[in-house]
Structure 1
Amino acid sequence: MEMRSFEEFLAKAGCNVARQSLPLLQSQLSVEPPIVLTKQFRSDLPVHIGAFSKIHGPGLMAWTKVGRFTSIAPHAVLGGNEHAIDWLSTSAVFEAPQMHGWDSLLSSTNSPRKFEFSGAVKCVSVGHDVWIADGAFIRGGVTIGDGAVVGARAVVLSDVPPYAVVAGNPAKVIRMRFDDVTVEKLCAFQWWRFDFAAVSQADIRDPRAAVAQLEDLEASGKIAEYSPGYVNAGRFR
């Protein structure tokens, strides 16, 4: 049956997306169902979310790309606006004079000039199977590698390696989740290619054994990659 709205599609595809400040149809949201998204996001910027990821509000996402099986806790902020700290003023009103309609309060002879700040918003790229804990801040332009863990209240200002555990302000690597051989195996196999029913056929409590089991299952044709495809709001306009 043809879907009449983006919201209807999301509901039928098992996606729980909270009401935003603007209609979803006006957004640049793109999802690979199913997902949970109860965090506010910038409707004027691209937001891509992979299957089986859960992103809980409150909090904010700007220009963000999230992989599969990723968990983002409440109060986390991903890619907030940057301000030009080497200009005369740090205020964003010089980048967007029309903000709040303040420009209309000025006389025509003092019409404000607009200045472009190219570094205002940069994409945050979050890999697969990432856990970002409560209240973390991820700076725009940062990449969080597959399997990484970001501790609560961490301030992440630089890229995080795959399977690293980071914490603090500024965030630093405090340990790796697994040894180098296991990390290399996990990154090469990319178990998130499958849905969670397929993955659960292996004993996930032992990562290296689980990869070996999934390799056998894939080789025998007992599991196949999950490929539902992405759907975006533009399809329903």
Structure 2
Amino acid sequence: MLLRVWFLLLQHGKFMMSNLNKLKNLVFGKSKSSNIKKKFENIDNILVLFDDHNKTGVFFELHNALVEALSYLKEDYNIIFKPFNTNISTENFSKFDLIIAHTRLNSELIKFLTSLTEKKFAIGICIADSDVINQSTLLDSFDVIWFNSYNAGKQIRSDLNKFHAFGLNYENPEITGRISKATSIQILSSRFQNSLIERPKEDEFIEFLSSPLWHSRYYSCQIRRGIESLSSENTLISNRIKPRFNLMVGRHSFHNGNFKVKGDNIVEIGSFCSFGTNVGLYTVNHDTRFLTTQGYPYRKYFNTIHPGANDSPSLKRTKGPIFIGSDVWIGDDVKIMSGVKIGHGACIAAGSIVTKDVDHYAVVGGVPAKPINKRFNEATIKKLLQMKWWHWSDVEIKSNKNYFFKDIDDHGLEVEA
């Protein structure tokens, strides 16, 4: 049987090294560790089970963050919160399409959910732990996983269906135990004012000081992404822009290939953005203050890094974070430099190098990019910024279909009821 399958693949020219795993699965069956999970037809009704015994501390703060994030999804999903106890009845579980546990990995709630058999609903978990490496095998039973920091996310196997949510917060005493709240706020604020100061060297602050100010709308987008991953995607899409420790991305933003973020300074991208091919965001440059801008001589002759490549890059290397609003269209081969803020609804012409801020709904292009025109008049732009349609729920978007099919440029924003 194996030789026959091998021969047929060779005959049709389909045998490639990248297909060896597919061939293995075809002949021997799918590996148990595969990240291919069962797809569910619809996720409409969601039950959130949580530990109710801890009313204070980090877990309680994370629970409040979860409640706030899910409040943005209440028009698209029927969400019910319920405290867990060991006497809970499973009779009504069949009414739900997804059960989300918000708990720690060593809890009775985890034992309860992983013991369920012949379930027809999906199960997810919002992990309240930062250290999961010793208990990560418990996560195999879950269809979707939300982790609370990228440090925790690295400890979860890459083949599992995982999403970042509930990032580190400057008010979290576990994170800021050796640094005052005032200093934390100063550090966070300085990043957004392009006024760089020396960062503490403690390991636990690396992610904290290198990450955006995660907010509840971002959390809701990440929870939505996890929920939507449980169902098959029938809409044609390109490549989804995925967040990372220094990159916060909104809802349904895509690129056409070879999208890159250079440097570890902060980048924020809004929702419903469309990026072409070869778009690059450059948050840092080489430092020009020293004898050479190249790092090789320092590594080869002095066994160290370039003096400009430290934890606190000077203003010679960066002008600060990059902020890109929602509904932004960026053409092919565009480069955006550090410190730039691009407004909502803006359009960047292909091949441009953007070195200065771009207004809302402005069209810019060139090297360096300069204003060409505005998509709409100022009155219409003002209304669009008040609408903030990119924050609408799926239900609200569908119910406002007329807005999306109206030629606003010729006929204005007003639509018939």
Same fold, TM-score > 0.5, yes or no:
yes
What is the match of residue 154 of structure 1? 352
Equivalent residue for 2:285, pick from 78, 82, 91? 82
2:291 alignment partner AA: L
User: 3-state DSSP class of the match of 2:162?
Assistant: helix
1:210 and 1:92, CA in 2 relative to 1: closer, same or farther beyond 3 A? farther
1:180 alignment partner AA: E
Equivalent residue for 1:202, pick from 401, 408, 411? 401
What is the match of residue 48 of structure 1? 248
**Alpha-carbon displacement from aligned partner over 1:61-108 (angstroms, at most 9, x marks no partner):** 2432100111111100012531223433222458xx5xxxxx3x54xx
What is the match of residue 365 of structure 2? 167
How many residues in Structure 1 have an aligned counterpart in Structure 2?
187
1:118 alignment partner AA: S
1:210 and 1:49, CA in 2 relative to 1: closer, same or farther beyond 3 A? farther
Matched, 1:115 2:315: no
For the residues of structure 1 that align with 2:251 and 2:275, how far apart are their CA atoms? 13
For the residues of structure 1 that align with 2:305 and 2:333, how far apart are their CA atoms? 36
For the residues of structure 2 that align with 1:82 and 1:138, how far apart are their CA atoms? 12
1:150 and 1:197, CA in 2 relative to 1: closer, same or farther beyond 3 A? farther
Kindly indicate whether the alpha-carbon contact (under 8 Å) linking 1:139 and 1:156 is maintained by their aligned counterparts in 2: yes
Matched, 1:136 2:334: yes
User: 3-state DSSP class of the match of 1:135?
Assistant: coil
Query: Displacement, 1:59?
Result: 2.9
What is the match of residue 9 of structure 1? 162
Map of 1:35-74 to 2, 5 A cutoff? 37=239, 46-62=246-262, 63-74=266-277
The TM-score with structure 2 as length reference comes to 0.39
For the residues of structure 2 that align with 1:113 and 1:192, how far apart are their CA atoms? 43
The more displaced of 77-86 and 144-153 is 77-86
What is the match of residue 225 of structure 1? none
Kindly indicate whether the alpha-carbon contact (under 8 Å) linking 2:295 and 2:305 is maintained by their aligned counterparts in 1: no
For the residues of structure 1 that align with 2:295 and 2:323, how far apart are their CA atoms? 24
- Segments of 5+ residues of structure 1 without an aligned counterpart are 11-25, 98-102, 217-237
Kindly indicate whether the alpha-carbon contact (under 8 Å) linking 1:128 and 1:147 is maintained by their aligned counterparts in 2: yes
What is the match of residue 325 of structure 2? 127
1:68 and 1:211, CA in 2 relative to 1: closer, same or farther beyond 3 A? farther
Higher helix share: 2
Decide which structure has the larger Cα Rg and report it: 2
For the residues of structure 2 that align with 1:155 and 1:40, how far apart are their CA atoms? 23
1:142 and 1:112, CA in 2 relative to 1: closer, same or farther beyond 3 A? same
Kindly indicate whether the alpha-carbon contact (under 8 Å) linking 2:279 and 2:335 is maintained by their aligned counterparts in 1: yes
Query: Displacement, 1:56?
Result: 3.3
User: 3-state DSSP class of the match of 2:247?
Assistant: strand
Kindly indicate whether the alpha-carbon contact (under 8 Å) linking 2:250 and 2:270 is maintained by their aligned counterparts in 1: yes
For the residues of structure 2 that align with 1:191 and 1:38, how far apart are their CA atoms? 20
Kindly indicate whether the alpha-carbon contact (under 8 Å) linking 2:271 and 2:327 is maintained by their aligned counterparts in 1: yes
1:74 alignment partner AA: T
CA RMSD of the aligned region, Å? 3.5
The TM-score with structure 1 as length reference comes to 0.65
For the residues of structure 2 that align with 1:114 and 1:83, how far apart are their CA atoms? 9
1:112 and 1:191, CA in 2 relative to 1: closer, same or farther beyond 3 A? closer
1:67 and 1:38, CA in 2 relative to 1: closer, same or farther beyond 3 A? closer
1:113 and 1:67, CA in 2 relative to 1: closer, same or farther beyond 3 A? closer
For the residues of structure 1 that align with 2:341 and 2:256, how far apart are their CA atoms? 20
Query: Displacement, 1:36?
Result: 6.7
The more displaced of 116-125 and 166-175 is 116-125
The more displaced of 151-160 and 55-64 is 55-64
Q: Using CA pairs below 8 Å that are at least 6 residues apart, which structure has the higher relative contact order? A: 1
2:267 alignment partner AA: T
For the residues of structure 1 that align with 2:414 and 2:276, how far apart are their CA atoms? 31
**Alpha-carbon displacement from aligned partner over 1:99-150 (angstroms, at most 9, x marks no partner):** xxxx3x54xxx55475243243532110010001111000011011000000
What is the match of residue 15 of structure 1? none
Equivalent residue for 1:186, pick from 364, 377, 384? 384
